[in-house]
Amino acid sequence: MKVLISSCVLGNEVRWNKQGKLNSEVVEWAEQNDIELIPVCPENELLGTPRDKIRLIQIEEKTCAHYKNRDIMEELKSKCQEILERYPDASGFIGIYGSPTCGISVGVKNLGSVTKGVMHKQCQMPTVESNALRNENNRKIFLRRLNK
């Protein structure tokens, strides 16, 4: 089974500051369960690395992705969609906490609540954050969702 994963979770140095965030537990879990992890990084594809941080900000009814004084939300959505369509045989996506693109609960300035990161919003498959997979029960639940 193929599962997409935020590239930085595999240790690839694609974060805004050119660092990775390897989560070896997720890698081991995937190996044990015959899951092929496919690294994806929408922000690196769209903006390159290193880059400035994207910040989510609410302006009236719209959640904007602020980058270098402009709103790149539509470009980010298109890139995520393009990546998801590239892998029609994938069964799910594993993101990472805090990222406006790959996090599940991301803070939005002026909104007073959180929103789903763009990859999770665009994804029709089961998604999770890598941190949640540190917990045995969560791993079982995600595996069941992948196999449905």
- Which residues are at the interface with ligand SF4 (CB under 6 A)? 6-8, 14-15, 41-44, 96, 99, 101-102
114 vs 144 by CB, closer to ligand SF4 = 114
Quote the CA–CA distance of 35 and 94 in Å, as a whole number: 12
96 vs 123 by CB, closer to ligand SF4 = 96
The two beta strands, 127-129 and 90-95, are parallel
Min. distance of Cβ 26 from ligand SF4 in angstroms?
A: 13
17 vs 124 by CB, closer to ligand SF4 = 17
| Longest CA–CA separation in the chain, Å | 47
Min. distance of Cβ 128 from ligand SF4 in angstroms?
A: 14
Min. distance of Cβ 76 from ligand SF4 in angstroms?
A: 9
Measured from the Cβ of residue 136, the count of other Cβ atoms closer than 10 Å reads: 9
Quote the CA–CA distance of 72 and 42 in Å, as a whole number: 12
Would you state the structure tokens that stand for residue 75, as one six-digit string? 């470009």
